[in-house]
Structure 1
Amino acid sequence: MQKILFILSIVLTGVFIFLGYNAWQDKQAEVHRVSPVLIDSTAVAEEDSAEAELDQASTEEGEAEPALTTNLPQEAQDLFAEATAEEPVNVTLVATESATITGTNWLTAAENVFSNEYSNVVVETITYNNTSDELIETITSENYGQADVILLEVPTIYDNGFWSLGDQTYYMNLMIGSFQEAAPEAVLIMQPSQPLAEAPIYDEQKDAVQQVIADAGIEYLDHWSSWGQDLSTLLTEDNDPTEEGGTVWANYMTDYLTGN
Protein backbone atom coordinates (compact mmCIF):
# COMPACT_ATOMS: atom_id res chain seq x y z
CA MET A 1 0.00 0.00 0.00
CA GLN A 2 2.79 2.36 0.92
CA LYS A 3 4.49 1.60 -2.38
CA ILE A 4 1.32 2.42 -4.26
CA LEU A 5 0.97 5.75 -2.45
CA PHE A 6 4.63 6.56 -3.07
CA ILE A 7 4.31 5.84 -6.79
CA LEU A 8 1.07 7.88 -6.97
CA SER A 9 2.72 10.86 -5.27
CA ILE A 10 5.57 10.75 -7.77
CA VAL A 11 3.13 10.70 -10.68
CA LEU A 12 1.10 13.62 -9.26
CA THR A 13 4.28 15.61 -8.64
CA GLY A 14 5.31 15.08 -12.25
CA VAL A 15 1.89 16.19 -13.46
CA PHE A 16 2.04 19.40 -11.37
CA ILE A 17 5.55 20.15 -12.62
CA PHE A 18 4.45 19.64 -16.23
CA LEU A 19 1.39 21.88 -15.87
CA GLY A 20 3.43 24.59 -14.13
CA TYR A 21 6.04 24.61 -16.87
CA ASN A 22 3.40 24.99 -19.63
CA ALA A 23 1.80 27.91 -17.78
CA TRP A 24 5.20 29.64 -17.50
CA GLN A 25 5.84 29.18 -21.24
CA ASP A 26 2.47 30.79 -22.07
CA LYS A 27 3.23 33.84 -19.92
CA GLN A 28 6.65 34.28 -21.50
CA ALA A 29 5.17 34.11 -25.00
CA GLU A 30 2.58 36.75 -24.04
CA VAL A 31 5.23 39.14 -22.71
CA HIS A 32 7.33 39.14 -25.91
CA ARG A 33 4.50 39.25 -28.44
CA VAL A 34 4.14 42.58 -30.34
CA SER A 35 0.48 43.43 -30.68
CA PRO A 36 -0.46 44.36 -34.29
CA VAL A 37 -1.48 48.05 -34.75
CA LEU A 38 -3.71 49.28 -37.56
CA ILE A 39 -1.88 52.19 -39.31
CA ASP A 40 -4.10 54.89 -40.83
CA SER A 41 -2.77 55.08 -44.40
CA THR A 42 -4.65 58.34 -44.95
CA ALA A 43 -2.90 59.98 -42.03
CA VAL A 44 0.45 58.78 -43.27
CA ALA A 45 -0.26 60.06 -46.75
CA GLU A 46 -1.28 63.45 -45.39
CA GLU A 47 1.85 63.61 -43.27
CA ASP A 48 4.04 62.69 -46.24
CA SER A 49 2.24 65.27 -48.39
CA ALA A 50 2.73 67.97 -45.77
CA GLU A 51 6.42 67.16 -45.54
CA ALA A 52 6.73 67.24 -49.32
CA GLU A 53 5.03 70.63 -49.49
CA LEU A 54 7.33 71.93 -46.78
CA ASP A 55 10.36 70.68 -48.67
CA GLN A 56 9.04 72.22 -51.89
CA ALA A 57 8.45 75.54 -50.15
CA SER A 58 11.96 75.48 -48.75
CA THR A 59 13.37 74.72 -52.17
CA GLU A 60 11.42 77.49 -53.87
CA GLU A 61 11.93 80.10 -51.18
CA GLY A 62 13.37 83.20 -52.78
CA GLU A 63 12.91 81.77 -56.29
CA ALA A 64 9.25 82.61 -56.94
CA GLU A 65 8.50 84.13 -60.33
CA PRO A 66 7.18 87.67 -60.16
CA ALA A 67 3.52 88.23 -61.00
CA LEU A 68 2.87 89.02 -64.65
CA THR A 69 1.28 92.36 -63.88
CA THR A 70 3.85 93.60 -61.35
CA ASN A 71 5.13 96.35 -63.64
CA LEU A 72 1.72 97.62 -64.68
CA PRO A 73 -0.10 100.55 -63.05
CA GLN A 74 -2.09 99.44 -60.00
CA GLU A 75 -5.38 100.13 -61.78
CA ALA A 76 -4.39 97.73 -64.55
CA GLN A 77 -3.24 95.11 -62.05
CA ASP A 78 -6.65 95.25 -60.39
CA LEU A 79 -8.43 94.86 -63.73
CA PHE A 80 -6.49 91.72 -64.66
CA ALA A 81 -6.92 90.28 -61.16
CA GLU A 82 -10.70 90.67 -61.34
CA ALA A 83 -11.14 89.60 -64.97
CA THR A 84 -13.38 86.64 -65.83
CA ALA A 85 -14.29 84.84 -69.02
CA GLU A 86 -17.61 86.69 -68.98
CA GLU A 87 -15.98 90.06 -68.28
CA PRO A 88 -12.47 90.01 -69.80
CA VAL A 89 -10.04 92.91 -69.92
CA ASN A 90 -10.15 94.68 -73.28
CA VAL A 91 -6.64 95.73 -74.28
CA THR A 92 -5.99 98.05 -77.22
CA LEU A 93 -2.44 98.21 -78.58
CA VAL A 94 -1.63 101.22 -80.76
CA ALA A 95 1.62 101.25 -82.76
CA THR A 96 3.17 103.23 -85.58
CA GLU A 97 3.67 101.51 -88.91
CA SER A 98 7.35 102.36 -88.58
CA ALA A 99 7.65 100.26 -85.42
CA THR A 100 5.94 97.25 -86.97
CA ILE A 101 7.94 97.12 -90.19
CA THR A 102 9.92 94.12 -88.93
CA GLY A 103 8.60 90.65 -88.22
CA THR A 104 9.65 90.91 -84.60
CA ASN A 105 8.36 94.09 -83.00
CA TRP A 106 6.85 95.39 -79.78
CA LEU A 107 3.28 95.02 -81.04
CA THR A 108 3.53 91.31 -81.88
CA ALA A 109 5.47 90.74 -78.66
CA ALA A 110 2.68 92.30 -76.60
CA GLU A 111 0.07 90.29 -78.49
CA ASN A 112 1.96 87.06 -77.81
CA VAL A 113 2.29 87.78 -74.09
CA PHE A 114 -1.37 88.62 -73.65
CA SER A 115 -2.41 85.57 -75.70
CA ASN A 116 -0.07 83.03 -74.11
CA GLU A 117 0.53 84.28 -70.57
CA TYR A 118 -2.58 86.18 -69.52
CA SER A 119 -6.11 84.90 -69.00
CA ASN A 120 -9.43 86.53 -69.79
CA VAL A 121 -8.04 89.16 -72.14
CA VAL A 122 -9.32 90.43 -75.47
CA VAL A 123 -6.66 92.20 -77.57
CA GLU A 124 -7.23 94.70 -80.37
CA THR A 125 -4.36 96.19 -82.38
CA ILE A 126 -4.23 99.47 -84.27
CA THR A 127 -1.40 100.74 -86.47
CA TYR A 128 -1.13 104.25 -87.88
CA ASN A 129 1.20 106.61 -89.78
CA ASN A 130 -0.27 109.95 -88.69
CA THR A 131 1.10 113.02 -87.01
CA SER A 132 -0.35 113.99 -83.63
CA ASP A 133 -3.08 116.28 -84.98
CA GLU A 134 -4.28 113.57 -87.38
CA LEU A 135 -4.16 110.85 -84.74
CA ILE A 136 -6.26 112.95 -82.36
CA GLU A 137 -9.08 112.97 -84.90
CA THR A 138 -9.29 109.17 -84.66
CA ILE A 139 -9.54 109.09 -80.86
CA THR A 140 -13.29 108.60 -80.49
CA SER A 141 -15.55 106.54 -78.26
CA GLU A 142 -16.32 104.36 -81.28
CA ASN A 143 -12.66 103.39 -81.60
CA TYR A 144 -11.62 103.32 -77.94
CA GLY A 145 -14.75 103.36 -75.80
CA GLN A 146 -14.61 99.62 -75.07
CA ALA A 147 -10.96 99.61 -74.04
CA ASP A 148 -9.97 98.91 -70.44
CA VAL A 149 -6.24 99.28 -71.07
CA ILE A 150 -4.68 101.31 -73.90
CA LEU A 151 -0.98 100.90 -74.68
CA LEU A 152 -0.02 103.68 -77.10
CA GLU A 153 3.16 104.42 -78.99
CA VAL A 154 3.06 108.21 -79.31
CA PRO A 155 3.72 109.70 -82.79
CA THR A 156 6.91 111.62 -82.06
CA ILE A 157 8.63 109.79 -84.94
CA TYR A 158 6.08 111.31 -87.36
CA ASP A 159 5.95 114.72 -85.66
CA ASN A 160 9.73 115.06 -85.91
CA GLY A 161 10.54 117.54 -88.68
CA PHE A 162 6.87 118.46 -89.02
CA TRP A 163 5.81 119.98 -85.69
CA SER A 164 7.94 122.07 -83.38
CA LEU A 165 8.66 121.07 -79.80
CA GLY A 166 6.00 123.49 -78.57
CA ASP A 167 3.47 122.12 -81.03
CA GLN A 168 4.16 118.57 -79.96
CA THR A 169 3.60 119.30 -76.27
CA TYR A 170 0.40 121.16 -77.18
CA TYR A 171 -0.92 118.23 -79.19
CA MET A 172 0.10 115.75 -76.53
CA ASN A 173 -2.07 117.58 -74.01
CA LEU A 174 -4.94 117.46 -76.51
CA MET A 175 -4.31 113.78 -77.16
CA ILE A 176 -4.44 112.88 -73.48
CA GLY A 177 -7.68 114.84 -73.10
CA SER A 178 -9.15 113.08 -76.13
CA PHE A 179 -8.37 109.64 -74.69
CA GLN A 180 -9.81 110.62 -71.33
CA GLU A 181 -13.01 111.74 -73.04
CA ALA A 182 -13.30 108.78 -75.41
CA ALA A 183 -12.38 106.12 -72.80
CA PRO A 184 -12.72 107.75 -69.37
CA GLU A 185 -12.36 104.47 -67.46
CA ALA A 186 -9.39 103.12 -69.43
CA VAL A 187 -5.88 102.81 -68.04
CA LEU A 188 -3.54 104.64 -70.41
CA ILE A 189 0.10 103.61 -70.91
CA MET A 190 2.36 105.44 -73.35
CA GLN A 191 5.80 104.93 -74.86
CA PRO A 192 8.02 106.71 -77.41
CA SER A 193 8.93 105.49 -80.87
CA GLN A 194 12.41 104.14 -81.61
CA PRO A 195 15.43 106.35 -80.84
CA LEU A 196 17.36 108.00 -83.66
CA ALA A 197 21.11 108.30 -84.03
CA GLU A 198 22.63 111.75 -83.56
CA ALA A 199 19.27 113.54 -83.45
CA PRO A 200 19.42 116.01 -80.54
CA ILE A 201 16.26 117.88 -81.57
CA TYR A 202 14.34 114.61 -81.71
CA ASP A 203 15.70 113.74 -78.26
CA GLU A 204 14.47 117.07 -76.91
CA GLN A 205 11.04 116.54 -78.42
CA LYS A 206 10.83 113.10 -76.87
CA ASP A 207 11.82 114.45 -73.44
CA ALA A 208 9.29 117.30 -73.64
CA VAL A 209 6.46 114.96 -74.61
CA GLN A 210 7.50 112.57 -71.85
CA GLN A 211 7.23 115.39 -69.31
CA VAL A 212 3.67 116.20 -70.43
CA ILE A 213 2.74 112.54 -70.03
CA ALA A 214 4.36 112.34 -66.59
CA ASP A 215 2.61 115.53 -65.46
CA ALA A 216 -0.70 113.92 -66.40
CA GLY A 217 0.11 110.94 -64.15
CA ILE A 218 0.23 108.48 -67.04
CA GLU A 219 2.57 105.48 -67.12
CA TYR A 220 5.45 106.05 -69.56
CA LEU A 221 7.65 103.24 -70.82
CA ASP A 222 11.05 104.64 -71.73
CA HIS A 223 12.51 101.73 -73.64
CA TRP A 224 15.35 103.80 -75.14
CA SER A 225 17.75 102.66 -72.44
CA SER A 226 17.54 99.12 -73.87
CA TRP A 227 18.84 100.20 -77.27
CA GLY A 228 22.30 101.28 -76.15
CA GLN A 229 24.48 103.96 -77.71
CA ASP A 230 25.36 102.25 -80.99
CA LEU A 231 22.26 102.19 -83.19
CA SER A 232 24.07 101.32 -86.42
CA THR A 233 22.70 97.78 -86.56
CA LEU A 234 19.37 98.60 -84.96
CA LEU A 235 18.02 101.13 -87.48
CA THR A 236 17.69 101.19 -91.26
CA GLU A 237 18.80 104.09 -93.42
CA ASP A 238 15.23 105.36 -93.15
CA ASN A 239 15.42 105.19 -89.33
CA ASP A 240 12.99 102.31 -89.08
CA PRO A 241 13.95 99.46 -86.74
CA THR A 242 15.90 96.60 -88.26
CA GLU A 243 15.07 93.06 -87.26
CA GLU A 244 17.66 93.38 -84.51
CA GLY A 245 16.24 96.69 -83.37
CA GLY A 246 12.72 95.35 -83.42
CA THR A 247 13.88 92.45 -81.27
CA VAL A 248 15.43 94.79 -78.70
CA TRP A 249 12.14 96.66 -78.41
CA ALA A 250 10.11 93.44 -78.36
CA ASN A 251 12.23 92.00 -75.55
CA TYR A 252 11.72 95.15 -73.51
CA MET A 253 7.96 94.91 -73.96
CA THR A 254 7.93 91.20 -73.10
CA ASP A 255 9.86 91.84 -69.89
CA TYR A 256 7.52 94.68 -68.95
CA LEU A 257 4.38 92.63 -69.47
CA THR A 258 5.73 89.56 -67.65
CA GLY A 259 6.94 91.30 -64.49
CA ASN A 260 10.66 91.14 -65.25
Structure 2
Amino acid sequence: MKQLLLTVLAISCVAFLFLGNMYWKERTTLVASEEKTAETVEDTSTEETTEPQKEESEEEGREGIDSLISNWPEEAQVHFKDLMENGETYKIAIVGSPALGETENGWAPQLKEKILSELDNQVEVEIFQSGVTSIEFINGEEADKVLAYEPDLVLLEPFSLTDNSNQVGSVQNHESILMFLRILKETNEDSVLLLQPPHPLEGATYYPQQIEALEEFAEEESISYLDHWTSWPDDETLGDYLIESQDTPNEKGHDIWAEYLMDYFINQ
Protein backbone atom coordinates (compact mmCIF):
# COMPACT_ATOMS: atom_id res chain seq x y z
CA MET A 1 0.00 0.00 0.00
CA LYS A 2 2.81 2.38 0.87
CA GLN A 3 4.54 1.54 -2.39
CA LEU A 4 1.34 2.32 -4.29
CA LEU A 5 1.01 5.75 -2.65
CA LEU A 6 4.60 6.63 -3.50
CA THR A 7 4.02 5.63 -7.12
CA VAL A 8 0.84 7.74 -7.36
CA LEU A 9 2.65 10.69 -5.74
CA ALA A 10 5.52 10.42 -8.20
CA ILE A 11 3.16 10.31 -11.14
CA SER A 12 1.27 13.34 -9.80
CA CYS A 13 4.49 15.32 -9.44
CA VAL A 14 5.55 14.54 -12.98
CA ALA A 15 2.10 15.47 -14.31
CA PHE A 16 2.11 18.73 -12.34
CA LEU A 17 5.57 19.69 -13.62
CA PHE A 18 4.57 18.82 -17.21
CA LEU A 19 1.33 20.82 -17.08
CA GLY A 20 3.10 23.73 -15.40
CA ASN A 21 5.75 23.77 -18.10
CA MET A 22 3.12 23.70 -20.84
CA TYR A 23 1.21 26.56 -19.20
CA TRP A 24 4.40 28.63 -18.92
CA LYS A 25 5.27 28.08 -22.61
CA GLU A 26 1.75 29.04 -23.71
CA ARG A 27 1.76 32.13 -21.49
CA THR A 28 5.19 33.22 -22.73
CA THR A 29 4.13 32.74 -26.37
CA LEU A 30 0.90 34.70 -25.80
CA VAL A 31 2.73 37.63 -24.18
CA ALA A 32 5.33 37.72 -26.96
CA SER A 33 2.57 37.63 -29.55
CA GLU A 34 0.72 40.48 -27.86
CA GLU A 35 3.88 42.59 -27.67
CA LYS A 36 4.64 41.98 -31.35
CA THR A 37 1.08 42.90 -32.31
CA ALA A 38 1.29 46.08 -30.23
CA GLU A 39 4.58 47.03 -31.91
CA THR A 40 3.06 46.41 -35.34
CA VAL A 41 0.02 48.53 -34.52
CA GLU A 42 2.28 51.30 -33.17
CA ASP A 43 4.49 51.22 -36.27
CA THR A 44 1.47 51.31 -38.55
CA SER A 45 -0.06 54.13 -36.55
CA THR A 46 3.20 56.09 -36.76
CA GLU A 47 3.42 55.60 -40.52
CA GLU A 48 -0.22 56.53 -40.99
CA THR A 49 0.29 59.66 -38.87
CA THR A 50 3.56 60.75 -40.50
CA GLU A 51 2.35 60.47 -44.09
CA PRO A 52 -0.73 62.70 -43.69
CA GLN A 53 1.38 65.24 -41.78
CA LYS A 54 3.86 65.34 -44.65
CA GLU A 55 1.08 65.71 -47.21
CA GLU A 56 -0.57 68.43 -45.13
CA SER A 57 2.74 70.30 -44.84
CA GLU A 58 3.29 70.16 -48.61
CA GLU A 59 -0.28 71.28 -49.23
CA GLU A 60 0.11 74.21 -46.84
CA GLY A 61 3.33 75.16 -48.63
CA ARG A 62 1.58 75.19 -51.99
CA GLU A 63 -1.31 77.20 -50.61
CA GLY A 64 1.16 79.69 -49.16
CA ILE A 65 2.85 80.14 -52.55
CA ASP A 66 -0.53 80.48 -54.26
CA SER A 67 -1.40 83.34 -51.92
CA LEU A 68 1.93 85.12 -52.32
CA ILE A 69 1.75 85.23 -56.14
CA SER A 70 -2.00 85.77 -56.41
CA ASN A 71 -1.58 89.25 -57.95
CA TRP A 72 0.44 87.93 -60.89
CA PRO A 73 -1.18 87.36 -64.29
CA GLU A 74 -2.93 84.00 -64.38
CA GLU A 75 -0.56 82.52 -66.97
CA ALA A 76 2.43 83.53 -64.84
CA GLN A 77 0.95 81.85 -61.77
CA VAL A 78 0.28 78.61 -63.67
CA HIS A 79 3.77 78.50 -65.18
CA PHE A 80 5.40 79.29 -61.83
CA LYS A 81 3.59 76.39 -60.14
CA ASP A 82 4.40 74.02 -63.01
CA LEU A 83 8.10 74.80 -62.69
CA MET A 84 7.92 74.48 -58.90
CA GLU A 85 6.34 71.01 -59.20
CA ASN A 86 9.19 69.98 -61.51
CA GLY A 87 11.85 71.35 -59.16
CA GLU A 88 12.83 74.15 -61.58
CA THR A 89 13.32 77.83 -60.79
CA TYR A 90 11.23 80.68 -62.16
CA LYS A 91 13.30 83.47 -63.74
CA ILE A 92 12.35 87.11 -63.30
CA ALA A 93 14.08 89.93 -65.20
CA ILE A 94 13.79 93.55 -64.05
CA VAL A 95 14.57 95.76 -67.05
CA GLY A 96 14.78 99.51 -67.50
CA SER A 97 16.66 102.79 -67.29
CA PRO A 98 18.97 104.13 -64.54
CA ALA A 99 15.77 104.93 -62.62
CA LEU A 100 15.96 101.30 -61.41
CA GLY A 101 18.68 102.41 -58.99
CA GLU A 102 20.66 99.20 -59.39
CA THR A 103 23.80 100.45 -57.63
CA GLU A 104 22.22 102.64 -54.96
CA ASN A 105 19.68 100.44 -53.20
CA GLY A 106 16.99 101.67 -55.56
CA TRP A 107 13.58 100.10 -56.01
CA ALA A 108 14.90 97.28 -58.23
CA PRO A 109 17.41 95.88 -55.68
CA GLN A 110 14.80 96.24 -52.94
CA LEU A 111 12.24 94.35 -55.01
CA LYS A 112 14.75 91.64 -55.85
CA GLU A 113 15.62 91.14 -52.20
CA LYS A 114 11.94 90.93 -51.24
CA ILE A 115 11.09 88.36 -53.90
CA LEU A 116 14.08 86.18 -53.05
CA SER A 117 13.38 86.35 -49.32
CA GLU A 118 9.74 85.28 -49.73
CA LEU A 119 9.99 82.78 -52.60
CA ASP A 120 13.46 81.54 -51.67
CA ASN A 121 14.89 78.90 -54.05
CA GLN A 122 11.78 78.92 -56.24
CA VAL A 123 13.01 81.97 -58.18
CA GLU A 124 15.97 83.71 -59.76
CA VAL A 125 15.95 87.49 -60.19
CA GLU A 126 18.27 89.54 -62.40
CA ILE A 127 18.41 93.31 -62.94
CA PHE A 128 19.18 94.69 -66.42
CA GLN A 129 19.74 98.45 -66.25
CA SER A 130 20.66 100.45 -69.36
CA GLY A 131 21.04 104.17 -70.09
CA VAL A 132 19.60 103.90 -73.60
CA THR A 133 16.47 104.81 -75.53
CA SER A 134 13.85 102.19 -76.35
CA ILE A 135 15.10 102.05 -79.95
CA GLU A 136 18.72 101.57 -78.85
CA PHE A 137 17.58 98.91 -76.41
CA ILE A 138 15.77 96.73 -78.93
CA ASN A 139 18.48 97.14 -81.58
CA GLY A 140 21.46 96.66 -79.28
CA GLU A 141 23.07 94.10 -77.02
CA GLU A 142 21.03 95.19 -74.01
CA ALA A 143 17.94 93.34 -75.26
CA ASP A 144 20.10 90.37 -76.26
CA LYS A 145 21.37 90.07 -72.68
CA VAL A 146 17.84 89.95 -71.32
CA LEU A 147 16.72 87.38 -73.89
CA ALA A 148 19.79 85.21 -73.29
CA TYR A 149 18.68 84.97 -69.65
CA GLU A 150 15.48 83.29 -70.92
CA PRO A 151 13.24 84.91 -68.32
CA ASP A 152 9.80 83.59 -67.45
CA LEU A 153 8.62 87.07 -66.46
CA VAL A 154 9.95 90.48 -67.49
CA LEU A 155 9.11 93.64 -65.57
CA LEU A 156 9.87 96.33 -68.15
CA GLU A 157 10.22 100.06 -67.52
CA PRO A 158 10.36 100.83 -71.25
CA PHE A 159 12.75 103.81 -71.25
CA SER A 160 9.89 106.29 -71.72
CA LEU A 161 11.61 109.12 -69.84
CA THR A 162 14.89 108.57 -71.72
CA ASP A 163 12.90 108.60 -74.97
CA ASN A 164 11.28 111.87 -73.91
CA SER A 165 14.71 113.45 -73.37
CA ASN A 166 15.97 112.20 -76.76
CA GLN A 167 13.02 113.08 -78.98
CA VAL A 168 11.84 109.48 -79.40
CA GLY A 169 8.07 109.49 -79.73
CA SER A 170 5.45 107.21 -78.23
CA VAL A 171 4.89 105.38 -81.52
CA GLN A 172 8.53 104.27 -81.71
CA ASN A 173 8.47 103.41 -78.03
CA HIS A 174 5.44 101.17 -78.44
CA GLU A 175 6.87 99.52 -81.56
CA SER A 176 10.03 98.69 -79.62
CA ILE A 177 7.96 97.09 -76.87
CA LEU A 178 6.06 94.94 -79.36
CA MET A 179 9.30 93.84 -81.03
CA PHE A 180 10.75 92.87 -77.67
CA LEU A 181 7.58 90.98 -76.70
CA ARG A 182 7.60 89.05 -79.97
CA ILE A 183 11.23 87.95 -79.56
CA LEU A 184 10.63 87.20 -75.87
CA LYS A 185 7.82 84.80 -76.76
CA GLU A 186 10.01 83.15 -79.40
CA THR A 187 12.66 82.58 -76.75
CA ASN A 188 10.22 81.31 -74.12
CA GLU A 189 6.59 80.88 -75.15
CA ASP A 190 5.48 80.78 -71.50
CA SER A 191 7.10 84.12 -70.64
CA VAL A 192 5.01 87.07 -69.45
CA LEU A 193 5.66 90.79 -69.91
CA LEU A 194 4.66 93.40 -67.33
CA LEU A 195 4.86 97.09 -68.19
CA GLN A 196 5.29 100.01 -65.81
CA PRO A 197 6.06 103.69 -66.35
CA PRO A 198 9.21 105.44 -65.13
CA HIS A 199 8.79 107.80 -62.18
CA PRO A 200 6.61 110.94 -62.47
CA LEU A 201 8.12 114.41 -62.93
CA GLU A 202 7.28 117.67 -61.22
CA GLY A 203 5.85 120.34 -63.54
CA ALA A 204 5.92 118.18 -66.70
CA THR A 205 3.26 118.59 -69.42
CA TYR A 206 4.05 116.42 -72.44
CA TYR A 207 5.60 113.56 -70.44
CA PRO A 208 2.38 112.67 -68.56
CA GLN A 209 0.63 112.44 -71.94
CA GLN A 210 3.26 109.92 -73.07
CA ILE A 211 2.63 107.84 -69.96
CA GLU A 212 -1.12 107.99 -70.48
CA ALA A 213 -0.55 106.75 -74.03
CA LEU A 214 1.65 103.95 -72.67
CA GLU A 215 -1.13 102.77 -70.37
CA GLU A 216 -3.66 102.84 -73.22
CA PHE A 217 -1.24 100.92 -75.42
CA ALA A 218 -0.81 98.26 -72.74
CA GLU A 219 -4.57 97.87 -72.45
CA GLU A 220 -4.99 97.56 -76.22
CA GLU A 221 -2.28 94.90 -76.42
CA SER A 222 -3.52 93.04 -73.31
CA ILE A 223 -0.22 93.62 -71.50
CA SER A 224 -0.41 93.90 -67.71
CA TYR A 225 0.35 97.46 -66.61
CA LEU A 226 1.53 98.35 -63.11
CA ASP A 227 0.58 101.95 -62.38
CA HIS A 228 2.81 102.87 -59.46
CA TRP A 229 2.10 106.58 -60.10
CA THR A 230 -0.95 106.16 -57.87
CA SER A 231 1.45 105.88 -54.90
CA TRP A 232 3.32 109.14 -55.60
CA PRO A 233 2.30 112.64 -54.44
CA ASP A 234 0.40 114.60 -57.10
CA ASP A 235 1.20 118.04 -55.71
CA GLU A 236 4.24 120.29 -55.25
CA THR A 237 5.77 117.85 -52.76
CA LEU A 238 6.61 115.45 -55.61
CA GLY A 239 10.00 117.15 -55.97
CA ASP A 240 10.91 115.90 -52.50
CA TYR A 241 11.04 112.36 -53.92
CA LEU A 242 13.36 113.06 -56.89
CA ILE A 243 16.97 114.08 -57.30
CA GLU A 244 17.51 117.69 -58.37
CA SER A 245 17.66 116.90 -62.12
CA GLN A 246 14.59 114.63 -61.78
CA ASP A 247 16.36 111.98 -63.86
CA THR A 248 15.88 109.40 -61.11
CA PRO A 249 14.09 109.14 -57.78
CA ASN A 250 15.95 109.87 -54.58
CA GLU A 251 15.89 107.50 -51.61
CA LYS A 252 12.35 108.45 -50.64
CA GLY A 253 11.15 108.03 -54.20
CA HIS A 254 12.77 104.61 -54.56
CA ASP A 255 11.07 103.51 -51.35
CA ILE A 256 7.62 104.53 -52.64
CA TRP A 257 8.20 102.74 -55.94
CA ALA A 258 9.62 99.65 -54.24
CA GLU A 259 6.74 99.38 -51.76
CA TYR A 260 4.15 99.43 -54.56
CA LEU A 261 5.92 96.68 -56.51
CA MET A 262 6.64 94.54 -53.45
CA ASP A 263 2.95 94.63 -52.58
CA TYR A 264 2.16 93.45 -56.10
CA PHE A 265 4.73 90.69 -56.40
CA ILE A 266 4.35 89.38 -52.84
CA ASN A 267 0.76 89.50 -51.65
CA GLN A 268 0.79 89.33 -47.85
Paired with 2:117 and 2:65, the residues of 1 have a C-alpha distance of 16
Q: Give the direction of change, closer, same or farther, for the CA distance of 1:101–1:87 in structure 2 (3 Å limit).
A: closer
Distance in 1 of aligned mates of 2:210 and 2:68: 32
TM-score norm. by structure 2 comes to 0.67
C-alpha distance in 2 between matches for 1:141 and 1:132: 13
Q: Separation in 2 of the partners of 1:88 and 1:213? A: 28
Question: After alignment, is 230-239 or 79-88 more displaced?
Answer: 79-88
Instruction: Flag the structure with larger Rg.
Output: 1
Among 129, 132, 138, the residue aligned to 1:130: 132
The corresponding residue for 1:162 is 166
Name the one with the larger helix percent: 2
Match for residue 99 of structure 2?
98
Write the distance in 2 (CA, Å) between the matches of 1:65 and 1:148.
Answer: 17
Where does residue 243 of structure 2 map in the other structure? 236
Please say if residues 169 and 212 of structure 1, whose CA atoms lie closer than 8 Å, have aligned partners that are also in contact.
no
Structure 1 regions of 5+ residues with no counterpart? 1-41, 43-63
Structure 2 residue identity aligned to 1:144: L
Cα distance in 2, alignment partners of residues 258 and 137 from structure 1? 33
1:10-49 aligned at under 5 Å gives the runs none
SS at match of 1:122: strand
**2:200 corresponds to which residue?**
195
- Give the secondary-structure state (helix, strand or coil) at the position aligned to 1:160: helix
Counterpart contact for 1:102–1:242, Cα < 8 Å: no
Within-5 A mapping of 1:111-190: 111-118=112-119, 119-138=121-140, 143-145=146-148, 146-163=150-167, 167-184=169-186, 185=189, 186-190=191-195
Evaluate the alpha carbon distance shift between residue 181 and residue 65 of structure 1 in structure 2; reply closer, same or farther with a 3 A threshold: closer
Question: 3-state DSSP class of the match of 2:242?
Answer: coil
Superposition deviation, residue 83 in structure 1: 2.3
1:11 — aligned with what?
A: none
* In structure 1, C-alpha distance between the alignment counterparts of 2:185 and 2:151, rounded to whole Å: 7
CA displacement at 1:141 relative to structure 2? 5.8
The change in CA–CA distance for 1:65 and 1:183 in structure 2 (over 3 A counts) is closer
CA distance in 2, matches of 1:153, 1:163: 18
* Paired residue secondary structure (1:126): strand
* Structure-2 separation of matches of 1:69 and 1:259: 6
What is the letter of the counterpart of residue 117 of structure 2? N
Map 1:73-92 onto structure 2 (within 5 A).
73-84=73-84, 86-92=87-93
Using the TM superposition, give the Cα deviation of residue 254 of structure 1 relative to its aligned residue in structure 2, in angstroms. 0.9
Preserved contact between residue 135 and residue 172 of structure 2 (Cα < 8 Å): no
Overall identity of the aligned pairs, in %: 28
What's 1:250 paired with? Answer: 258
Report how many aligned residue pairs link the two structures: 199
Unaligned runs of 5+ in 2: 1-41, 43-63
- Rounded to whole Å, the distance in 2 between the matches of 1:102 and 1:246 is 12
Change (3 A) 1:65 1:189: closer
- Opposite residue 74 of structure 1, the aligned amino acid is E
Superposition misfits of 4+ residues, deviation over 6 angstroms: none
Query: Structure 1 residues 259 and 132 mapped into 2: Cα distance closer, same or farther (>3 Å)?
Result: same
